[in-house]
Amino acid sequence: MSPDVLFSIANPVALLGWIGLAMWPLARRPIMILCGCAIPLVFSIAYASCILAYWASAQGGYDSLPNVMLLFDTPGIALAGWIHYLAFDLAVGGWIVRDAHRSGIAHWLTLPSLALTFLFGPVGLLLHVALRALTYLRTPHPA
């Protein structure tokens, strides 16, 4: 299997995960298990496979930006990086859904956070944290 083929499989799978998270209230437990747990786990295994297969032949490193760019010049490593994003963004998405539920935030309010996490990772997380802060400030707490 070439990196391109794995890439073309990974993207639709990630999309499936995100659609699932968006529709979480329809079937909470199965969706969370599949989209918040199983799919990120599968991506993690795929990531590990990429590192095992491609790391030793790659050049560059983590110590400088040019070296990181050199690292990602290897298609297999770039793919690993992409799968890393897919895995962790989806894991964070699952956490956002659960965290919102625990904090009494309506699920539809998390949809922008989910969309932004899907597209721009940490930005979605920032939005959720801001939402949590607002909710906390609006709720009366003992002094």
Query: In the complex, which residues of this chain contact other proteins (CB under 8 A)?
Result: 1, 3, 6, 45-46, 48-50, 52-57, 76
What minimum distance in Å lies between the beta carbon of 57 and other proteins?
7
What minimum distance in Å lies between the beta carbon of 68 and other proteins?
21
What minimum distance in Å lies between the beta carbon of 45 and other proteins?
5
User: Mind giving me the DSSP string for the chain?
Assistant: --HHHHHHHHHHHHHHHHHHHHTGGGSHHHHIIIIIIIHHHHHHHHHHHHHHHHGGG----SSSHHHHHHHTTSHHHHHHHHHHHHHHHHHHHHHHHHHHHHTT--HHHHHHHHHHHHHHTHHHHHHHHHHHHHHHHHS----
Q: Which is nearer to other proteins, 53 or 70 (CB)?
A: 53
Q: Which is nearer to other proteins, 74 or 135 (CB)?
A: 74
